[in-house]
């Protein structure tokens, strides 16, 4: 049976990502830290409003280190050019890397919700939010996975070294953090126009779920489609950038 080249790249990146235990620990730290903080503040009124922000952040932190190593790390090790010389199309190479990054991002989102489920039943919070709301949160947050993976991969394509990539990704991480926090302090009414804005649309719907409100399916589909579309655009931009020698060699 023929193995597709993108799957070979995907398998390689996943295997390399699982070997980097320090990066895995960093990513997992955000997965349990957010729900744990929510549980510690369970007797405070606004405790649940923190969960959407942490959930969006883990979509990015789960993919950051893998994206950094798969692009900036490859360039620093001098293995990016030989990799591009293999009989694999550029689109399949980038697709395999992107899917691997998506896998780690999705794992971070799922793990965060599993820890949140445990916290929900271990604290009085279960009386304020039903566990089924976490499934809806998964549906809302999943489209952020390709968006975060595509954006992280594109950013790391510009970085010449992993250290530089970490600096860039730290700035990118401010986007979900600030969106999650500021949208609670300065709330905007959820509408079709707001749902179409990546991060803001997801935050508003996640926040509504913490109050027991189910978002409109049309808004949910619109929000997901816009996030996936931007993630795909970032993926195509990455493939286009790798056609330039100065990007490949970091000059």
Give the whole-angstrom CA distance, residue 18 versus residue 5: 20
H/E element, 128: none
Instruction: Give percent of the chain above pLDDT 90.
Output: 31
Q: How confident is the model at residue 150 (pLDDT cuts 50, 70, 90)?
A: very high
pTM, 2 dp: 0.90
Q: How confident is the model at residue 1 (pLDDT cuts 50, 70, 90)?
A: very low
User: pLDDT value at position 235?
Assistant: 92
pLDDT tens-digit readout, 182-220: 888 887 888 888 989 989 999 999 988 988 888 889 999
Cβ neighbours, 10 Å, residue 251: 8
User: pLDDT value at position 250?
Assistant: 63
Say yes or no to pLDDT of 161 above 90.
no
Nearest to 4 by CA among 103, 106, 93, 104: 93
Say yes or no to pLDDT of 166 above 90.
no
Average pLDDT over residues 52-59: 90
Q: Are 55 and 145 in contact (CB under 8 A)?
A: no
Average pLDDT over residues 120-140: 85
**Cα R_g (the chain), whole angstroms:** 19
Say yes or no to pLDDT of 45 above 70.
no
Q: Say how many residues make up the chain.
A: 251
């Amino acid at each position: 049976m023929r193995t597709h080249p993108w799957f070979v790249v995907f398998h390689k990146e996943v295997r390399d990502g699982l070997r980097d235990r320090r990066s895995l620990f960093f990513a997992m730290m955000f997965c349990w830290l957010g729900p744990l903080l929510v549980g510690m503040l369970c007797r405070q009124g606004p405790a649940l409003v923190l969960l959407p922000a942490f959930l969006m952040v883990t979509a990015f932190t789960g993919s950051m280190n893998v994206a950094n190593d798969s692009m900036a790390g490859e360039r620093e090790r001098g293995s990016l050019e030989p990799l591009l010389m293999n009989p694999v199309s550029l689109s399949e190479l980038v697709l395999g890397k992107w899917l691997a990054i998506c896998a780690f991002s999705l794992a971070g989102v799922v793990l965060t919700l599993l820890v949140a489920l445990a916290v929900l039943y271990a604290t009085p919070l279960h009386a304020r939010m039903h566990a089924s709301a976490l499934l809806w949160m998964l549906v809302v947050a999943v489209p952020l996975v390709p968006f975060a993976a595509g954006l992280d991969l594109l950013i790391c394509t510009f970085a010449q070294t992993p250290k530089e990539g970490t600096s860039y990704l730290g700035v990118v991480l401010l986007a979900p953090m600030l969106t999650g926090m500021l949208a609670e302090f300065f709330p905007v009414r959820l509408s079709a126009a707001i749902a179409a804005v990546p991060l803001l649309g997801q935050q508003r719907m996640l926040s509504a779920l913490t109050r027991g409100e189910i978002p409109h399916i049309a808004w949910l589909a619109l929000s997901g489609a816009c996030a996936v579309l931007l993630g795909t655009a970032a993926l195509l931009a990455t493939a286009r950038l790798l056609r330039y020698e100065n990007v490949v060699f970091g000059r």
